[in-house]
Amino acid sequence: MDQHMPQARHILQSTFGYDDFRHHQADIIEAIIDGQDVLTLMPTGGGKSICYQIPALVRSGTAIVISPLIALMQDQVDALQQLGIKSAFLNSTLHASEQREIEEAFIHGAYDLIYMAPERLLNSYTLNLIDRCEISLFAIDEAHCVAQWGHDFRKEYQQLSMLHERYPNVPRIALTATADERTRIEIIEQLALQQAHLFINSFDRPNIHYAINDLGNGREELLKFIKENHPDDAGIVYCLSRKNVETTAEWLNKKGRTALPYHAGLHQDIRQEHQQRFLREDGLIIVATIAFGMGIDKPDVRFVAHMNLPKNIESYYQETGRAGRDGLPSNAWMNYGLKDVINLRLFTQNSDADELFKRMMLQKTDAMLGLCELTSCRRQAVLAYFGETLEKPCGNCDNCINPPETWDATIATQKILSCIYRTKERFGAQYIIDIMLGKDDERIKANNHDQLSTFGIGQEHSSPEWRGIFRQLVAHGYLATDVEGYGVLKLTPKAWPLLKRSESPQTVMLRKLSKASKVKKKRSSSSSNAAVRRFAQDLSTHDQELFEQLRQLRSTLAKDQNVPPYVIFPDKTLVEMVIAKPGSESQMLEISGIGEVKFSRYGEAFLNEIMNR
């Protein structure tokens, strides 16, 4: 073990108040302290920050954290200062005099960490400044912004490769919660991280309950969902259009919830104010377009609701991932309709992108639809999409809890697989369907595919029905799409036993292509389960009152300092306090999230509150 690891562990315990490292944190920290480059992929809430914060404290010099959103730097620095860590940010919100002061202190080594956006870092003035400072490491947060393939592309991120050339001896750590392989490859290439240690965490977020429904009146369903599960919790509601954002927020306000709109059409000051209130007040709902959310660190967002279909699984997972960063039970809820599906397709088809890109987008759309139509565990499917295997169904999604009706599609599946096999895995879904329907088509004839035994064997379903089956087969992993983006469907190892009927008999069950109304009734009762498990409701009435009291105290302390409440203590720490009811300093320090500095600031106040009950 690295000689510095005991020191790192000590910081984890005394400064951050945590018992142990999670996942790969220890290995990542060790590599960085040792001066090596690291690329780490971890889901939101996985604990990325301490992967650079602890090395920043162990290594000598100042760590530069590159982060895309200046609006959030204040909160990040506030959170560190609460822990007694010397940190600052450099961005355009500072007055010239403040900036000069910080630069001066930076040169004199006053900070362990300093945050800046890439534009700031890359200008020659800042680079000259950095040249005069001792730098412990570069942390490139939200590193997927470097990837054009990704969904938050920022062109300044691509220039960050210069760090490597200009400061070859300073270790770099790139961090992202984006899991897909293409983005990962692009990050490595763009940032010249070929030599970096790669740490990929499980992307599972077990505390998030996933539910997707296509029930008619989305808004009413949303209200019902919120009332049943989150009567006073903070949450995000995503809508596609600005107009829907406005009307949904208004409507929720009429129904008795405080809901604030957020979209790119609102004045910058209003957006800033709404975001700020969402972070600082308890139990607010923000209704937003996807313009909202990147880098939002609020750990106690208890639900994320989608009123439309996200454009792909990456977006869905990233957006829903903003729920429950603190690890407590949370809900990802989505309502979508046929219109969404059509709009999404039109949007992709009519985009100005080149053909290849369009085809990739269409595939992503298909995968997203597959997730919606799934009859089996949603979590297994999402994780499989990111290349991860979850052995057993999760038991914490709508399909696991209330399985939808299915039909035996084994024969239909075999027909598809056989047709793909006979056409040598070189075609897309529509072509295969045309063969199965026995379509009179020039291309089919030219390829002699009208001579195949599978020509015309699929008359029992319509073309759209077959497409639905195809989508489900992709989602279930019987078929894979080509990485190059040509829409070609290939058989996966999972498909082979089905194709060779001689082997162990296997059935494929797919979601029934039935009338929506039938499914409706069955599924309407599915969403309330998470409520049962909500932590606060598991507490006794007495403890719930104490929890409320501690929340009040936290709120007051936060307001006094103008910081978000979770910066003082996260909910999880409050829950632990309620359960353990510490009566002394040493008992208090055993609680996760309470380190020495936090204790010295707030320990007494919370101890008193607990003991005076």
Minimal distance, residue 222 CB to Zn ion, in Å? 22
Residue 565 makes contact with ligand ADP by CB under 6 A: no
Candidates 79, 113, 114, 64; CA nearest to 94 is 114
**Minimum distance between the CB of residue 19 and ligand ADP, rounded to whole angstroms?**
7
Q: Stretches 15-23, 129-137, 283-291, 345-353: which one binds ligand ADP (CB under 6 A)?
A: 15-23
Of 318, 284, 280, 324, the closest CA to residue 301 belongs to: 324
| Torsion sign across C-alpha atoms 6, 8, 11, 17 | negative
Residue 17 interaction partner, one of Zn ion, ligand ADP, none, beta carbon < 5-8 Å per kind: none
Near ligand ADP by CB under 6 A: residue from 37, 112, 300, 326: 326
Q: Which stretch binds ligand ADP (CB under 6 A): 18-26, 355-363, 405-413, 435-443?
A: 18-26
Q: How far is the CB of 209 from Zn ion (least distance, A)?
A: 9
The residue with tokens 């001579």 is: 451
Long-range contacts (CB closer than 8 Å, 24 or more residues apart) made by 598-603: 598/17, 598/82, 598/83, 598/568, 598/569, 601/82, 602/557, 602/568, 602/569
Q: By CB under 6 A, is residue 567 in contact with ligand ADP? A: no
Q: Per rule CB under 6 A, is residue 299 in the interface with ligand ADP?
A: yes
* Angle at the Cα of 18 from the Cα atoms of 68 and 557, rounded to 5 degrees: 70
Residues 77-96, mask of contacts with ligand ADP (x by CB under 6 A)? --------------------
Neighbours of 284 (CB within 10 A): 19
Give residues in contact with Zn ion (CB under 5 A).
Answer: 377, 379, 393-394, 397, 400
Binding to ligand ADP by residue 68, rule CB under 6 A? no
Closer Cβ to Zn ion, 312 or 376, answer by number: 376
Q: Which residue's CB is nearer to ligand ADP, number 48 or number 280?
A: 48
**How many Cβ atoms from other residues are within 10 Å of residue 526's Cβ?**
18
Q: What is the 3-state secondary structure (H, E, C) of 317-339?
A: HHHHCCCCCCCCCEEEEEECCHH
Q: How far apart are CA 568 and CA 557, in angstroms?
A: 8
**Per CB under 6 A, 47 contacts ligand ADP:** yes
Q: How far is the CB of 551 from ligand ADP (least distance, A)?
A: 16
- Judged by beta carbon distances under 5 to 8 A according to partner kind, the member of Zn ion, ligand ADP, none in contact with residue 377 is Zn ion
Q: State how far the alpha carbon of 173 is from the alpha carbons of 45, 47, 48, 140, 491, in Å.
A: 17, 14, 10, 6, 37
Quick one: what does residue 50 bind among Zn ion, ligand ADP, none, with the CB cut-off 5 to 8 Å set by partner type? ligand ADP
Element (DSSP H or E) covering residue 75: helix 73-82
From candidates 310, 370, 565, 570, binder to ligand ADP by CB under 6 A = 570
State the minimum distance, in angstroms, from the CB of residue 377 to Zn ion.
3
Binding part of the chain for ligand ADP, among 42-50, 210-218, 258-266, 602-610 by CB under 6 A, reads 42-50
Reading across the β-sheet that carries 259-262, which strands appear in turn?
A: 208-213, 330-335, 303-306, 235-238, 285-288, 259-262
Q: Which does 46 bind (CB under 5 to 8 A by kind): ligand ADP, Zn ion, none?
A: ligand ADP
Choice from 24, 48, 151, 598 touching ligand ADP (CB under 6 A):
48
Q: Answer with the entry of Zn ion, ligand ADP, none that 397 interacts with (C-beta below 5 to 8 A by kind).
A: Zn ion
What does 66 bind: Zn ion, ligand ADP, none (CB cut-off 5 to 8 Å by kind)?
Answer: none
Distance CA 156, CA 172 (A): 17
49 touches ligand ADP (CB under 6 A) = yes
What residue 394 binds from Zn ion, ligand ADP, none (CB within 5 to 8 A, per partner kind)? Answer: Zn ion
- Nearest position to ligand ADP, beta carbon: 47
> Can you tell me which of 45, 458, 595, 603 binds ligand ADP, judged by CB under 6 A?
45
What string of H, E and C letters represents the secondary structure of 189-243?
Answer: HHCCCCCCEEEECCCCCCCEEEEEECCCCHHHHHHHHHHHHCCCCCEEEECCCHH
Answer left, alpha or beta for residue 308, where phi above 0 means left and psi between -120 and 50 means alpha. beta
DSSP label of 600: I
Between residues 68 and 468, which has the closer beta carbon with respect to ligand ADP? 68
Contacting residue, 37, 39, 40, 46, with ligand ADP by CB under 6 A:
46
CA neighbor of 328 nearest in space, from 50, 42, 21, 575: 575
If we measure between CA atoms, which residue out of 586, 599, 566 comes closest to residue 16?
Answer: 599
Which lies closer to ligand ADP via its Cβ, residue 77 or residue 249? 77
Q: How far apart are CA 18 and CA 8, in angstroms?
A: 12
Give CA–CA dist 578/247, Å, rounded: 39
- Which residues, 577 to 596, sit near ligand ADP by CB under 6 A? 592
Q: Assess 52 for contact with ligand ADP (CB under 6 A).
A: no
Where do contacts with ligand ADP occur on this chain (CB under 6 A)?
A: 18, 21-22, 25, 42, 44-50, 297, 299, 325-326, 570, 592
